[in-house]
A and B are shown apart, each in its own frame.
Chain A
């Protein structure tokens, strides 16, 4: 593909809001995970909760979008001056020339879960104040962002479970390549809700401890929440030093099972190969891999096999979900931003909570963050339904 510039980017997770907090957390091997105290949930698990999400007040004219998920959209957009960079891009290109491509798995389903508790005892009707379109619907976060910036161009939500906000980069890149738009707001937002917490628990995939990706004794995920965004534009003739570029995107399907990965990681391998092909780079050019690494026994084993088969056992790699939790539909964008931080700060992120590497997975897995040159990074995101996406990012010298 033709490389694209991430002219601005930001991430908000349980590590903190914005790049500075995220970078400090990664450098200090900090984890933002805490025992689950959320809403009325009574599960023995840990979560990655973003603080002060519900303190966000949406603009009056957009109050119909008010729900935890869209509050996190706003919190995320306003971090690092990202919203200001978007407004400058709109001024440059026009309001119909900036597209919106946002990923989510559950959008504002929490709003519906809460509304179902308030159904009319006689008629069974949902409460008057519940608005499906602007809270529950998968498009609600993209529509909110489009209206937040007064945009009039194309917009779509990608919802492929935990690969959603990696695949937004592919969708946006295609429209930038065709010239439909001149810039794209890409990203992902997912928030804690009962569906995912009880859902992953029903599959016995939540850990009673903080998640330990790629640990010999890993025993499940820690559900997190997050918002991460990037502004994608064409690369100028002379990009400034330290510019982060999207170099390649690879997508594939497992065609195997709805909630279990292909045991040999075949779909994962196809996605990584496609991303390298798209970037025009050999496997040896990758300096760091941000693994999907959810910390379930099956997921890490399958991904590990695919990574070893393609990259061997030398490339430094880690999953950062021990720090952020699994932010589900936001994971792709969160981890793309973590790769950007790795490349621009010479940082190889570690894996908080992981103690003992799994000897069955021979990878150069980073337990502790350390400094190291990263010119090209690869980020993996895989989801239910066998949806796989890998991104290759680079930095200008």
Chain B
């Protein structure tokens, strides 16, 4: 069997994590030019939504719109035409808690809005409505391996369907009592716009292979803590290479014993 390399060009990056408000700020920290300062994730109000919708937007909707649009703007891409792959270890934790709490009482007449917001693809649905994109939209979950699962499918779309694809990997927190069972600390995510051809906006060429090696850790203990605490941030060692402008090979966590070996060639 001849293997077709899972290869794409990275054209745009969006990023939000605790203490890291966007990709330029994250770049400075990853390069060691600015110190990491812990702070709750800052989720901007989505300007793309009408005022009423903006007020109602949940944390995961704000997160995914912010990082997705940051990556698209970077690449000057038309979001209304972009295929997307959303991947998350869980859906809206607060909404899930509210539903389970009410369903445990005698009053089970839950809110219809809470119900349609409970689907794992809620953020993806709002992305479609906000961007008016009717393009294919995949929504995945692989628990702690969700970033790797998303990267596999996004690269599959770039290579097989030869279409630019926006990967949006994100996670959010559960309130108690679920938080004690799944302790993701905050909202965070990364968006990568991946394209089949090199263009003027291309930042680097990425090629994915599977490996059994151990994933690279972050030298900075705060950043290493983020990498392990939030599944989408398993991407951090790759982003550090991009931030530093280094070509090379990096190993990221996926699904034991299968790991991701990524060759990165800067443009």
Contacts and interface: CB of A to CB of B under 8 A. Distances in A.
B140 A156 contact: yes
A180 B149 CA distance: 12
A132 B96 CA distance: 13
Contacts of A167: 138
Interface residues of A, number: 69
Interface in A103-121: 105, 109, 112-113, 116-117, 119
A199 B4 CA distance: 44
A213 B145 CA distance: 39
A294 interface: no
Given A138-B120, A160-B124, A175-B152, A198 B177 contact: no
Interface stretch (B40-48, B156-164, B188-196, B220-228): B156-164
B97 to A, nearest CB: 9
Given A130-B181, A154-B255, A266-B134, A179 B2 contact: yes
Contacts of B89: 137, 139
Interface residues of B, number: 67
Contact of A119 (B119, B149, B160, B177): B177
B112 interface: yes
Nearest to A158: B140
B138 A171 contact: yes
A155 interface: yes
Interface stretch (A15-23, A367-375, A380-388): A380-388
B159 to A, nearest CB: 6
Given A154-B149, A155-B255, A174 B142 contact: no
B258 A258 contact: no
B164 to A, nearest CB: 15
B1 A182 contact: yes
Interface in B3-39: 3-4, 6
Contacts of B115: 195, 198-200, 202-203, 259
A252 B131 contact: no
Q: Which of B129, B136, B152, B159 has the most CB of A within 10 A?
A: B136
Given A178-B159, A267-B134, A385-B125, 12 more contacts: A133-B143, A137-B143, A158-B140, A175-B152, A178-B3, A178-B160, A194-B108, A198-B115, A203-B116, A256-B129, A258-B122, A270-B134
